Amino acid sequence: MKKILVAVLFACMTVSLAVSSGLAANPKVKVGVQPWLGYGPWWIAEQMGYFEKHGLDGQIVNFTWDADMIAGLASGKLDVIAAATNALIATHNKDVDLKGFLVLDASFEADAILAPKSVKSIKDIKGKKVAYEAGATSDLLINYALKANGMSIADVKPVNMAASDAGLALVAGRVGIAVTYEPYISAALKQGQDYHVLYTSAEKPGLVSDVAMATGEYIEKNPEVIKALAKVWDDAVTYLKNNPDEGGKIIADAVHSPMDEYKLAMEGVRVYDLAENKKMLGGEFQQAMTMISEIMLETNPKDMVKMPEIDKLLAVEPVAGM
């Protein structure tokens, strides 16, 4: 009887929280992610019950390819995705109405170009097969690295490959260079002692970042859901900061990484809480998006045909107004 009463009380509390926040009782929200450390707080939120706490029926859906995840969002099979800022820019450039509403993370040493130790500089990769995922952060990084060294993607042989496979393809000898991110960097280097990190996103701070995004229509129709998601994320980031081992274990398990590799890899990633988001969305992040857009326009003019209006890429009102 006590168990029944507790269950009823919990259900009533959940409904009460949802109603008080302006939400219908526990709206279902499907969030698409990939196995990237910067998305880790979403897995923490799922395990710690933060979706339910803020009146949502949240479901994390895992993907391997950016393109599949973005297609799922555009088709309505997903409500929200966590994806690279450059993916948002590229998709919007194709007249798809997606908007970012929360800055999730930034990568520094955690996105990298891997090469045999015999390769000493970016200029040495000319003519080699380079594995990277088109449209993902790896695409942006290799294009920027080449441009910074007076080269372009035409100077290498691109091989479109998921980030989860690129590093191992390098070690297996199927490609000459790999562009990927953690935990796949550490996994590849652990298996191949003759390989090293040639170049990282730390060469250009602000180049690689990720946002939570949804269609403009979804955000407009569901502002309270967007606010609730921001609170879910904030709780998860706070938990990770206060409980780095416990939170880290959840993330490491989700991306199938040993804890020692996770801890080392996570040093190159920064996740942003709600307070930091409010500050960044006041102008700082818009400046970073402009910089990324300019690089994409210069390095990939075939796909990036016009400079976007940054304000149309972001929906800052739900989070900024909290």
Tell me the pLDDT tens digit for each residue of 215-227: 999 999 999 999 9
Is the model's pLDDT at 232 over the cut of 90?
Answer: yes
- Long-range CB pairs of 161-168 (<8 Å, 24+ gap) are 161/131, 161/132, 161/133, 162/64, 162/65, 162/133, 163/34, 163/132, 163/133, 163/136, 163/138, 164/35, 164/64, 165/131, 166/114, 166/131, 166/132, 166/133, 166/138, 167/114
Whether residue 128 has pLDDT greater than 80 = yes
- Which two three-digit tokens encode residue 102? 């929360």
Give me the pLDDT at residue 12, please.
43
The residue-averaged pLDDT of 249-255 equals 97
pTM listed for this prediction: 0.86
In the structure, what pLDDT confidence band is assigned to residue 133 with cuts at 50, 70 and 90? Answer: very high
Sign of CA dihedral 293, 298, 303, 309: positive
Where do the domains of the chain lie, and which CATH numbers do they carry?
2-106+207-320 (3.40.190.10), 111-203 (3.40.190.10)
Q: Give the tens place of pLDDT for each residue, 78-91.
A: 999 999 999 999 99
* Whole-angstrom distance, CA of residue 88 vs CA of residue 34: 15
Residue among 242, 206, 246 nearest 103 (CA): 206
321 — pLDDT class (breaks 50, 70, 90):
confident
Identity of the amino acid at 170: L
Burial class (CB in 10 A: 0-12, 13-18, 19+), 50: buried
- Say if CB 82 and CB 42 are below 8 A apart: yes
pLDDT band at 254 (very low <50, low <70, confident <90, very high): very high
Contact (Cβ atoms closer than 8 angstroms) between residue 20 and residue 231:
no
* Residue 1 pLDDT exceeds 70: no
At residue 22, the pLDDT reads: 56
Q: Cis before residue 205, ω within 30 degrees of 0? A: no
Q: Could you give the C-alpha distances from 300 to 113, 147, 245, 287, in angstroms and in order?
A: 18, 11, 40, 20
Pairing mode, if any, of strands 129-132 and 111-116? unpaired
Instruction: Return the exposure string of 165-201: e unless at least 16 CB atoms fall within 10 Å of the residue's CB, then b.
Output: bbbbbbbeeebbbbbbbbbbbbbbbeebeebeebbbb
| Greatest pairwise CA separation for the chain in angstroms | 74
| pLDDT digits 0-9 by tens, 17-35 | 444 455 657 899 999 999 9
How confident is the prediction for the chain on average, in pLDDT? 90
SS3 content of the chain, % helix, strand, coil (to 5): 55, 20, 25
Q: Where are the beta strands (DSSP E) in the chain?
A: 28-33, 57-62, 80-84, 98-107, 111-116, 129-132, 157-160, 177-181, 195-200, 208-215, 269-271
* pLDDT attached to residue 24: 59
DSSP character for 314? Answer: B
Type of residue numbered 66: D
Is 184's pLDDT higher than 70?
Answer: yes
In percent, how much of the chain has pLDDT > 90?
80
| pLDDT of amino acid 300 | 83
Give the distance from CA 12 to its chain's centroid: 35
- Residue 201 structure tokens: 């996103």
User: What's the confidence (pLDDT) of residue 320?
Assistant: 78
CA distances from 98 to 22, 130, 256, 267, 311 (A): 24, 30, 30, 30, 12
pLDDT value at position 301? 82
Q: Determine the Cα–Cα distance for residues 116 and 192; give it in Å rounded to an integer.
A: 9
Share of the chain above pLDDT 70, in %: 93
Q: What is the pLDDT of residue 322?
A: 81
Q: Model confidence over 72-122: pLDDT tens digits?
A: 998 899 999 999 999 999 998 888 899 999 999 999 999 999 999 999 999
- Is the CB of residue 93 less than 8 Å from the CB of residue 308? yes
Of 20-34, 200-214, 291-305, which one has max mean pLDDT?
Answer: 200-214
